[in-house]
């Protein structure tokens, strides 16, 4: 029944998202003030994001980028309906990566998110999945034209969820300038600072990286415990409503 409800919602609202989770894997993420570690808390929160996405938005896509001294793609974007287990396995294998190079993480996300090929692939996949689900629900009625037309009109929402427990401490390019480019391209950025105290985080930079809501609020927050972080990622899994 969950998939039937999801299929109906897709046909009516046509909302689609591509999310990249950017996870700080610097050495401080191994601190055990969050039992067993901050890194484990980040992994648990992202698994909750995947779980909610797979249940309510099965045709969304998600990818994972880890960053430390450098940044790397830990998992390319996949449909959460079929790729949830693979995404979770990638999270289980994350390892520490040195310093905190937020700029390189944003640059890598920019290369991935601004690819026209990804948009084309996503639209084609959505058409196939939505059509097959609709046929199943309504007895193989012909909705191909309707699905194709709605897909062409649909604007895919592209999002980044950046989590860090420190500050950008790699030399070189400014993460704020890179974030400005991403936001000007329509990409929504959420920033999450975690750790013992807000003073441990470069909140000024993270707030500048984060997107601003229509009401003027900033898509940044500091979170001081694992369970609160998991609840936050559950919330972030839901689609952003148009302004």
Reported as a single tens digit per residue, the pLDDT across 43-101 is 999 999 999 999 999 999 999 999 999 999 999 999 999 999 999 999 999 998 888 99
Task: Give the per-residue pLDDT at 242.
Answer: 59
Task: Give the per-residue pLDDT at 166.
Answer: 84
Task: Give the per-residue pLDDT at 84.
Answer: 98
**Is the C-alpha dihedral spanning 139, 144, 149, 153 positive or negative?**
positive
β-pairing, 61-67 vs 71-79, is antiparallel
Nearest to 80 by CA among 100, 103, 64: 64
Q: Which residues contact 43 (CB under 8 A, 6 or more apart)?
A: 91, 92, 94
**Is the C-alpha dihedral spanning 88, 34, 20, 168 positive or negative?**
negative
The structural domains of the chain, ordered by start, are 16-115+157-236 (3.40.50.410)
Distance separating alpha carbons of residues 73 and 175, to the nearest angstrom: 18
Task: Give the per-residue pLDDT at 132.
Answer: 43
pLDDT tens, per residue, the chain with 243 residues: 332 333 323 332 346 999 999 999 999 999 999 999 999 999 999 999 999 999 999 999 999 999 999 999 999 999 999 999 999 999 999 998 888 999 999 999 999 988 744 444 555 544 444 444 434 434 444 344 443 344 444 578 999 999 999 888 877 788 999 999 999 999 999 999 999 899 989 999 999 999 999 999 999 999 999 999 999 999 999 998 755
Per DSSP, what are the bridge partners of residue 194?
223
Distance separating alpha carbons of residues 242 and 229, to the nearest angstrom: 25
Task: Give the per-residue pLDDT at 23.
Answer: 98
Look up residue 21 and give its two tokens.
């989770």
β-pairing, 188-194 vs 220-223, is parallel
Burial label for 174, CB within 10 Å (0-12, 13-18, 19+), is middle
Task: Give the per-residue pLDDT at 3.
Answer: 29
Task: Give the per-residue pLDDT at 97.
Answer: 85
């Amino acid at each position: 029944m969950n998939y039937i409800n999801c299929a109906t919602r897709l046909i009516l609202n046509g909302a689609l998202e591509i999310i990249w989770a950017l996870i700080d894997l610097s050495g401080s993420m191994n601190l055990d003030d969050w039992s067993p570690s901050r890194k484990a808390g980040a992994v648990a929160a992202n698994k909750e994001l995947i779980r909610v996405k797979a249940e309510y938005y099965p045709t969304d896509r998600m990818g994972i980028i880890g960053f430390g001294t450098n940044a790397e793609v830990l998992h390319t974007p996949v449909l959460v309906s079929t790729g949830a287990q693979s995404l979770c396995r990638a999270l289980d294998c994350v390892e520490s990566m040195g310093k905190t190079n937020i700029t390189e993480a944003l640059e890598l996300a920019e290369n991935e998110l601004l690819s026209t090929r990804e948009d084309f692939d996503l639209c084609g996949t959505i058409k196939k999945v939505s059509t097959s689900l609709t046929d199943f629900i309504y007895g193989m009625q012909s909705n191909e034209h309707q699905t194709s037309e709605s897909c062409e009109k649909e604007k895919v929402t592209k999002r980044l969820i950046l989590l860090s427990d420190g500050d950008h401490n790699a030399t070189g390019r400014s993460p704020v300038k890179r974030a400005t480019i991403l936001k000007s391209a329509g990409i929504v950025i959420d920033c999450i600072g975690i750790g013992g105290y807000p003073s441990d985080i470069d909140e000024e930079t993270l707030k500048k990286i984060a997107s601003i809501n229509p009401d003027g609020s900033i898509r940044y927050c500091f979170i001081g415990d694992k369970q609160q972080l998991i609840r936050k990622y559950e919330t972030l899994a839901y689609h952003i409503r148009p302004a």
